[in-house]
Structure 1
Amino acid sequence: MYEQLIPCDHCGGRPTVGRSQRLVSFLPDPTYDYTQWGRLAGPPLIGDTLPRPPEAPKTEHLVCIYCADCGMQTPWEAVAPNERAAMDRVGELWNRRLNRPEAEITDLQRLVEREVGVPDIPAVLDLLSRTKGNWDEMGPVFAMLARRLIDATIVTFDGWPIEPVLQDAARYRKLVQLVKWIQIEGQRYAEFPRIYSPSENGELLFEDCLAVAIDSLPDRDRW
């Protein structure tokens, strides 16, 4: 589900999965020192996955979605009994946070002062989506940025199309998920799975035949 998570509402950073743990009992054992684990009645900490010793009170594993850039985070969800279901729930919570801050004229001015190009198109679209008023002042600036982006796109149009690259990358990631480690004469090797290719695909080009065979594999685990 990583591909379905929207960027951070606050800073536009990339969301990721956070893990932690917390006490199952709300009445901690007074004979046990929690301070050595950073568990002195505080909230769960991202990255707190160190196993507790056997004599420590029992904890439950947690999962959340957070932004590593600004710290925006969803509430914690217990992993048990289904980790995938818990991750799906926090993913849905993250995507419901659509209240991004309104764009200001200073944000546009910072873009105007530099040479904008094709990589800046997402930033301009993000500012456009967060503009709620003051179109008399910001509209001409957006028009100027749009013209500069169009000119930059025309200059750099002669390039490799992105769609085949993304499709091949998805096929590669699907294959990597199915790789197994094997030991041969004490050496470690990566073994790729055997992929069935129907005989009716024999007339296709080698690359197309390979792509059809990989696409027929089960979809990879999105988490």
Structure 2
Amino acid sequence: MYEQLVPCDHCGGRPTIGRSQRLIAPCPDPIYDPSRWGRFAGPPRVGDIARRPPEAPETEPLVCIYCAECGMQTPWQPCQEDDTVARNTVAEIWNRRLNRPEAEKSDLQRLVERELGVTDIPAIIELVSRLEGDWSELGPMVKMIARRLVDATVVSFDSWPIDPVLNDAARYRKLVQLAKWVEIEGERYAQFPNVYTHPEHQDMLYEDAIAAAVDSLPDRDRW
């Protein structure tokens, strides 16, 4: 689900899950100051997940999505033991909180005058998604930019085979996501999973057999 969260609308930062807790029961003992537990001292704080002492007022866990760069945040959502539903709820709220400025014809004209390359593709797609106006005028410029990007992509394929690099990077990320921390003689180690090699792959090249084995591993739950 992290991959489906759009960047922060304010600063472009990466959104992440925030956790906290909120007081849900009255203070049972007058010696306890309720402001210490979050009801009268303002909203819950991101990262406030420390266990309360047994005699403290009861709290409920909360989740939100926030930007660590600028602090923009969704409302807190209460959750139970399985907080997947709450996280899905705040994820939908985050993706709806968009106020992207409309792009104009002058923005396209500046692109036409630039030397465009493959690395500009995401920025151009984002710009086209914000275009508002007469498409009889905008269309030819978009077509020109698209043609230049296609030409740049074709040239890049001859000199920079990015596809194998991206595939290997995806396999590495899968292994990292499935790794676990283990304690051995007081030292902490990263333990990667045992990767099963299928018998039908024994005649493949070494690199291809390893790649096929890693591809067969199950993906980690991205929540």
Q: Which has the higher mean CA deviation after the structures are superposed, 175-184 or 75-84?
A: 175-184
Report the counterpart of residue 210 of structure 2 in structure 1.
210
TM-score of the superposed pair, with normalisation by structure 2? 0.74
- Are the equivalent residues in 2 in contact too, given 1:19–1:49 (CA < 8 A)? yes
Report the counterpart of residue 131 of structure 2 in structure 1.
131
1:203 partner SS: coil
Q: Give the Å deviation of 1:152.
A: 5.8
Q: Give the Å deviation of 1:202.
A: 0.5
Structural RMSD (CA): 3.7
Report the counterpart of residue 171 of structure 2 in structure 1.
171
Q: Deviations over 1:78-118 (max 9, x none)?
A: 23131233222322333344553323567668878987654
Q: Give the Å deviation of 1:199.
A: 1.3
Q: Deviations over 1:152-197 (max 9, x none)?
A: 6566554543333333233223222333444555554433222221
Q: Which has the higher mean CA deviation after the structures are superposed, 198-207 or 179-188?
A: 179-188
- Are the equivalent residues in 2 in contact too, given 1:9–1:98 (CA < 8 A)? yes
Give matches, 1:48-63, under 5 Å: 48-63=48-63
Distance 1:201 1:33 in 2: 66
- Are the equivalent residues in 2 in contact too, given 1:66–1:74 (CA < 8 A)? yes
Q: 1:123 to 1:186 in 2, by over 3 A?
A: closer
TM-score of the superposed pair, with normalisation by structure 1? 0.74
Aligned positions, number: 223
Give matches, 1:83-162, under 5 Å: 83-97=83-97, 100-104=100-104, 117-133=117-133, 156-162=156-162
Task: List alignment gaps of at least 5 residues for structure 1.
Answer: none
- Are the equivalent residues in 2 in contact too, given 1:9–1:101 (CA < 8 A)? no
Whichever residue aligns with residue 166 of structure 1, its letter is L
Q: 1:162 to 1:92 in 2, by over 3 A?
A: farther
Distance 1:35 1:208 in 2: 60
Q: 1:119 to 1:71 in 2, by over 3 A?
A: farther
Q: 1:112 to 1:221 in 2, by over 3 A?
A: same
1:195 partner SS: coil
Q: Give the Å deviation of 1:222.
A: 0.6
- Are the equivalent residues in 2 in contact too, given 1:10–1:101 (CA < 8 A)? no
